[in-house]
């Protein structure tokens, strides 16, 4: 701290000084997946078994100066093990976010490219050229978001949100006259989250229909119980990336129960749910049983084992059993850097750079002072 004050005092006397906060956050995952496929009831699919290894590496760089921040997020995966599965799990290097945020006269502004939020009714999607601005007055937040003029696939919208006596409310109005309403709160220890998406214009044969979801949770004696349901009108479809997990393709109605608790330092979660794959007349639900065991490791990493049993409802679809083993780690390093420049007589330049690195894990913190005298001739 004393060294930082000294550097700041010296910087105040110099000709040119710049100060910025830079943080680097990273995560890595190593996956092993074993999938056993049973023969389908009609004999069109034979039994088989596959094994796959994959890695997923994510680095997020954040630079901050005053009220303005710049965020860049890069992801690399070598076997389509995609953390943000919004683009078909493309293997290789991808930019997952590149945006700037600032506050101008009380208005929060965000511009660039980023992935929208995940929910039981939608898997967040990547959109380029996005812009959002929001302002809060008396606890009510008003937000405008433009999605690069994609008024059909991703229409722009206005959102009004706030809280009344502990109940959170949000109503989003799109330019195509669709609406998205969310209500959440807690009653006598029971948490409830409801969402309704209303489509203004559709046809009976369209997969874009009205849909709604509800999630109810309750914790007692260290055990959390959850009920989740998604209902889509007609033959409508939706995606998901929450209670029901990420769906590779759009599906229909979903419903399920879950419980989770801590046992001997492990978090154990059990889920049982059903998904209608098409919402078509006569279609049968696929039934899933999922067990997830998560354990923090001494190094700060996390180990997770997930077993999923899928009982296909249609005779033409095979039953599957999947065991997924994953080791993940996270690190968040923060940097403060002060750079001071001063021209000297004779055309020389003096530069002083002070860097303070705060390691996000067990590694040592580092402070660096670099003094440089440069001469050009």
Digit-coded pLDDT (tens) for 240-260: 778 888 876 788 899 999 999
pLDDT band at 204 (very low <50, low <70, confident <90, very high): low
Q: Output the average pLDDT for the chain.
A: 83
Bridge partners of 223, per DSSP, are 220
The CATH number of 2-374 is which of 2.60.40, 1.20.1160, 3.30.420, 2.40.160?
2.40.160
| Cβ burial, residue 191 (10 Å; 0-12/13-18/19+) | middle
Position of tokens 């209500």? 183
Query: Averaging pLDDT over each range in 79-83, 187-191, 284-288, 369-373, which range is the top one?
Result: 187-191
The larger pLDDT score, comparing residue 159 to residue 313, is at: 159
The larger pLDDT score, comparing residue 75 to residue 19, is at: 75
DSSP secondary structure, 149-212, as one string:
T-TTTS--EEEEEEEETTEEEEEEEETTS-EEEEEEEEETTEEEEEEEEE-SS--TT-S---EE
State pTM to two decimals. 0.77
Q: What is the pLDDT of residue 150?
A: 58
Of 10-19, 70-79, 224-233, 260-269, minimum mean pLDDT range: 10-19
Cα–Cα dist 15/345, whole Å: 13
Query: Per the structure block, which two tokens stand in for 374?
Result: 């440069």
Q: How many residues does the chain have?
A: 377
Beta strand ranges found along the chain (DSSP E): 16-37, 48-65, 68-77, 92-104, 107-115, 126-137, 140-147, 157-164, 167-174, 179-187, 190-198, 211-220, 223-232, 254-263, 266-275, 286-296, 302-311, 320-343, 349-358, 366-374
Residue 104: partners with Cβ closer than 8 Å, 6 or more residues away: none
Digit-coded pLDDT (tens) for 309-322: 999 888 778 889 99
Q: What is the pLDDT of residue 9?
A: 45
Asked if the model's pLDDT at residue 5 lies above 60, the reply is no
Question: Helices marked H in the chain — which ranges?
Answer: 2-13
Q: What is the pLDDT of residue 360?
A: 66
Asked if the model's pLDDT at residue 4 lies above 70, the reply is no
């Amino acid at each position: 701290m004393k060294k930082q004050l000294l550097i700041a005092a010296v910087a105040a006397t110099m000709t040119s000084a710049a100060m910025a906060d830079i943080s680097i956050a990273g995560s890595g995952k190593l996956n092993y997946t074993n999938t056993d496929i049973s023969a389908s009831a009609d004999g069109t699919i034979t039994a088989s078994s596959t094994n796959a290894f994959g890695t997923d590496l994510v680095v997020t760089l954040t630079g901050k100066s005053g009220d303005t921040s710049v965020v860049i997020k890069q992801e690399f995966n070598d076997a389509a093990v995609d953390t943000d599965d919004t683009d078909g799990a493309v293997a290789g290097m991808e930019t997952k976010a590149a945006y700037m945020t600032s506050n101008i006269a009380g208005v929060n502004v965000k511009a660039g490219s980023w992935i929208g939020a995940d929910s039981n009714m939608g898997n967040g999607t990547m959109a380029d050229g996005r812009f959002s601005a929001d302002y809060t007055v008396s606890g009510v937040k008003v937000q405008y978001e433009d999605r690069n003029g994609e008024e059909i696939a991703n229409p722009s919208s206005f959102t009004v949100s706030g809280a009344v006596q502990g109940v959170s409310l949000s109503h989003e109005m799109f330019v195509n006259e669709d609406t998205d309403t969310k209500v959440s709160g807690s009653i006598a220890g029971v948490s409830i989250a409801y969402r309704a998406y209303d489509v203004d214009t559709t046809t009976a044969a369209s997969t874009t229909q009205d849909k709604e979801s509800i999630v109810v949770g309750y914790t007692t004696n260290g055990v959390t119980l959850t009920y989740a349901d998604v209902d889509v009108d007609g033959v409508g479809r939706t995606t998901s990336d929450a209670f029901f997990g990420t769906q590779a393709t759009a599906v229909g109605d979903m419903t399920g129960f879950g419980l989770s608790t801590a046992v001997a330092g492990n978090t154990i979660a059990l889920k049982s749910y059903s998904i209608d794959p098409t919402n078509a007349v006569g279609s049968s639900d696929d039934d899933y049983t999922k067990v997830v065991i998560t354990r923090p490791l001494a190094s700060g990493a996390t180990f997770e084992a997930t077993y999923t049993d899928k009982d296909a409802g249609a005779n033409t679809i095979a039953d599957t059993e999947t065991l997924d083993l994953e080791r993940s780690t996270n690190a968040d390093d923060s940097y403060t850097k002060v750079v001071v420049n001063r021209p000297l007589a004779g055309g020389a330049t003096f530069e002083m750079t002070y860097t303070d690195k705060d390691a996000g894990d067990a590694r040592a913190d580092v402070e660096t002072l670099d003094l440089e005298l440069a001469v050009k001739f």
